[in-house]
Amino acid sequence: MKNTFLSIALVSLLFASCGSDDTADIIINDNSVVNNNNGGTTTGSETIELTGNQTSNLTLDSANEYIVTGPLIMESGTTLSIPAGMTIKAAATGADVYIAIAQGASIDANGTASNPIIFTSASNTPNAGDWGGLILLGKAPINSVVGGNATSTSEIASLPYGGSAFDDNSGTLRYVRVEYSGGKADGQSENNGISFYGVGNGTTVEYIQAFEGKDDGVEFFGGTVNVDFVSVVNAQDDSLDWTEGYSGTITNAYVKHGVDHDKGIEADGFNTDIGNNADPKFYSKPTVTNLTIVGLGSGTGNEAVRLRAGTQGIFTNVSITGFAEGFDLDGDQGDSPTGAGVISGDLKVVSVIFDDVTVNLKNDTGETFTEADFLTVDTNATGTDFETWGAGWTRQ
């Protein structure tokens, strides 16, 4: 097999990257994708390393093997296209190995149930945190900036995100699984399995899974993207996380805890490290329908869902199993009015079933309301049918 090192960066970065590699790789200094053929067809199979800033479309060839060895950043105006059934490996060197789809770029990852697209560690003995993860950045609203077309910058890569395009389109993720991600740069900068930064609802996201991640499974930093059929298994931090005014829909979500874990959902109305800077202020308010969260038992001492910093949201058809607390609400009567959302009807659970849950609701919001004001127990609630839609392409 021929080893070809594809670096899509400046020449200086090319030589620096090569210098850290003990193999006798061939360096391609132009921006062609395969053998100076501008992404055209090649004969035979190659192992191609991917890193750097990509300024033209990149189409992966199913005949080849690809290994991400550093930050691969698709710049504005480019598209990363990945065929169904492909496995893209990432060097197990931690936080600085990731794929980022910048504002104005797009990804076309169209897998199928029988041929999913898999992003995983290149290690023979993979572990959570081996590499970074998949990052999408868009131009939809966030509340960490004043408004209009103002942008913030991502934790990883410091790339811009946010704006005023509710229907911004970052491409398609369909039948995509991300494994062994979550490498941490430091205590404040952490990769997730899949990160959505200001991604708009013109983006198609359905049938995605984050498996065995070191940090959060799937996190939404503002934006309006809608996600259907999402699974997070064995995330070591929160499985689903939203902040910065996220207002999309999450439909058919399945969360299962492993031995190391934090919360099934951690939800913030705004980023408490930055502040709610929108004018006028707004808070996260997603619609979550058909949700199942499976914990390790009520004796484990943690909560399934934490709602804080003024987040709002409407939950329907929820199943929670095996937690000390079902819903833990935190806030105050000032800038984090989580309880006020309950009173106004902007934060509520329409139907939920609890199994092996000690406390259904813990109220630390500073507001007075009853459990019935917030949630409706429904013994007919089912959550999501993960056994059906997750069959064949997910790991459990």
pLDDT band at 188 (very low <50, low <70, confident <90, very high): low
Return the bridge partners of 330, or none.
Answer: 364
Domains of the chain listed by start with CATH number: 1-50 (no CATH), 64-389 (2.160.20)
The two beta strands, 194-197 and 249-256, are unpaired
User: What's the whole-number mean pLDDT along residues 250-257?
Assistant: 98
Structure tokens at 70: 């550093």
Q: 59-78 pLDDT, tens per residue?
A: 999 999 999 999 999 999 99
In the predicted structure, residue 349 carries a pLDDT above the cut 60: yes
Tell me if 255 sits within 8 A of 294, measured CB to CB: yes
In the predicted structure, residue 14 carries a pLDDT above the cut 70: no
User: What's the whole-number mean pLDDT along residues 45-64?
Assistant: 96
Question: One-letter amino acid identity for 124?
Answer: N
d(CA 396, CA 393): 10
Predicted local confidence at residue 370, as pLDDT: 98
User: What's the whole-number mean pLDDT along residues 302-331?
Assistant: 97
As a whole number, the mean pLDDT across the chain is: 90
Neighbours of 277 (CB within 10 A): 17
CA–centroid distance for 146 within its chain: 24
Tell me if 279 sits within 8 A of 317, measured CB to CB: no
pLDDT band at 1 (very low <50, low <70, confident <90, very high): very low
In the predicted structure, residue 216 carries a pLDDT above the cut 90: yes
Q: 23-38 pLDDT, tens per residue?
A: 333 233 333 343 333 4
Burial classification of residue 335, based on how many CB atoms lie within 10 Å of its CB (0-12 exposed, 13-18 middle, 19 or more buried): middle
The two beta strands, 106-110 and 98-101, are unpaired
pLDDT band at 187 (very low <50, low <70, confident <90, very high): low
pTM of the model: 0.89
pLDDT band at 266 (very low <50, low <70, confident <90, very high): very high
Neighbours of 29 (CB within 10 A): 11
d(CA 116, CA 207): 9
Q: 76-114 pLDDT, tens per residue?
A: 999 999 999 999 999 999 999 999 999 999 999 999 999
Predicted local confidence at residue 300, as pLDDT: 86
User: What's the whole-number mean pLDDT along residues 225-236?
Assistant: 97
Structure tokens at 25: 């790789």
